[in-house]
Amino acid sequence: MVDTSVKLCGIMLDNPVIPASGTFGFGYEFTRFYDINVLGSISLKGTTKEPRFGNPTPRIAECPSGLLNAVGLQNPGAQAVLNNELKTLKRVYKKPVMANVSGFSVDDYVSTVEMLTGDEGIGWFEINISCPNVHGGGLAFGTSAEGAAKITKAVRKATDKPIIIKLSPNVTDIAEIAKACEAEGADGVSLINTLLGMRIDLKTKKPLLANKTGGLSGPAVKPVAVRMVYQVYEAVKIPIIGMGGISSAEDVIEFMLAGAVATQVGAANLVEPCACKRIIDELPAVMQKYGIKKLSEITGGAHNG
């Protein structure tokens, strides 16, 4: 018998598989496919203080081994999430969830966290300082250690709940930024967000996305993500959530060996709605295959020796 449970910032998860923000809505939408209570947790759709329509269409472009997206944080706003989305989710999901928060200023982040922090269903806040698809917000804070530290320090004062800072791969030294977040009170970091990319339509000779650029996700980014998780693990002592191209139980184990405590599944949900359930179902057999009895014990295993 194997043990798939892990602990994330003091909260136990039945397994380390979490749908990534932006690829799973607010969770309850997937109840038509399976019982979502099998999930370790859910990272909710990115939420801003005010409602956002998002970027103009087209917003999605397929690529070899992945896709580009420039959705632009479309969401109903923090108050609607509190009044409607979280209440609906609680009817079908009985575990703590991760509220993903974005903003365009320090005050935006703080206000949104303050609005949501009283909800007992929220176990963690995932602070997105790394969205590449919104002009003037998110990524502007995540590309420098100073900006990341500023957001972390402000949000730390706004809630007693664990805060996990979501980091951008579109930087020179992601480990330096992770260390800055840790120094200002972050309880964890999650990485990576999408890599900035572009596709051009040969017929129109124009970018396929209305936003011109978008975030690349899917299997194509996995080697970059594993490398960055490995580097950040050596730089900080706080927990890491690893993500980027995960589509199998083997991928989960690889990220954990690199240094992740838990993992998030993103693009796979868009092409296979039951991807997370399948990965969770696969985990025990894959653990047995590699002689792993307790999953929580393998975090950082690739650094030994």
Does residue 150 lie within any of the structural domains?
Answer: yes
State yes or no: pLDDT of 132 exceeds 70. Answer: no
- Sequence-separated (6 or more) residues with CB below 8 Å from residue 284: 2, 4
Phi-psi region of 97 (alpha: psi -120 to 50; beta: other; left: phi over 0): beta
Looking at per-residue pLDDT, the higher value among 105 and 274 belongs to 274
What's the number of domains the chain is made of? 1
Does residue 283 lie within any of the structural domains?
Answer: yes
Does residue 63 lie within any of the structural domains?
Answer: no
Residue 207: the pLDDT is 97
Q: Confidence band (pLDDT; 50, 70, 90) for 133? A: low
CA 240 from chain center: how many Å?
A: 11
Residue 98: the pLDDT is 98
Does residue 184 lie within any of the structural domains?
Answer: yes
Contact (Cβ atoms closer than 8 angstroms) between residue 242 and residue 256: yes
| Residue 46 DSSP class | P
Residue 138: the pLDDT is 61
Residue 304: the pLDDT is 85
* From 9, 131, 181, 276, the catalytic residue: 131
State yes or no: pLDDT of 139 exceeds 70. Answer: no
Residue 135: the pLDDT is 55
CA-to-CA distance for 190 and 241, rounded, in angstroms? 4
State yes or no: pLDDT of 131 exceeds 80. Answer: no
Does residue 58 lie within any of the structural domains?
Answer: no
Residue 98 belongs to domain spanning:
6-53+75-198+215-303
For a pLDDT cut of 70, what percent of the chain falls above it? 97
Q: Read off the pLDDT of residues 16-62 as tens digits, 9 standing for 90 and up.
A: 999 999 999 999 999 999 999 999 999 999 999 999 999 999 999 99
**Antiparallel, parallel or unpaired: β 17-19 and 262-265:** parallel
For a pLDDT cut of 90, what percent of the chain falls above it? 93
Does residue 221 lie within any of the structural domains?
Answer: yes
Does residue 69 lie within any of the structural domains?
Answer: no
| Residue 168 DSSP class | P
What's the mean pLDDT in 222-240? 98
pTM above 0.85, yes or no: yes
Q: Read off the pLDDT of residues 163-191 as tens digits, 9 standing for 90 and up.
A: 999 999 999 999 999 999 999 999 999 99
Q: Residue 63 catalytic?
A: no
Q: Read off the pLDDT of residues 74-129 as tens digits, 9 standing for 90 and up.
A: 999 999 999 999 999 999 999 999 999 999 999 999 999 999 999 999 999 999 99
Residue 127: the pLDDT is 97
- Sequence-separated (6 or more) residues with CB below 8 Å from residue 87: none
Could you tell me the CATH number of the domain that includes residue 38? 3.20.20.70
State yes or no: pLDDT of 215 exceeds 60. Answer: yes
CA-to-CA distance for 47 and 79, rounded, in angstroms? 10
What's the mean pLDDT in 267-280? 97
Does residue 182 lie within any of the structural domains?
Answer: yes
Residue 130: the pLDDT is 78
Residue 141: the pLDDT is 83
Contact (Cβ atoms closer than 8 angstroms) between residue 233 and residue 254: no
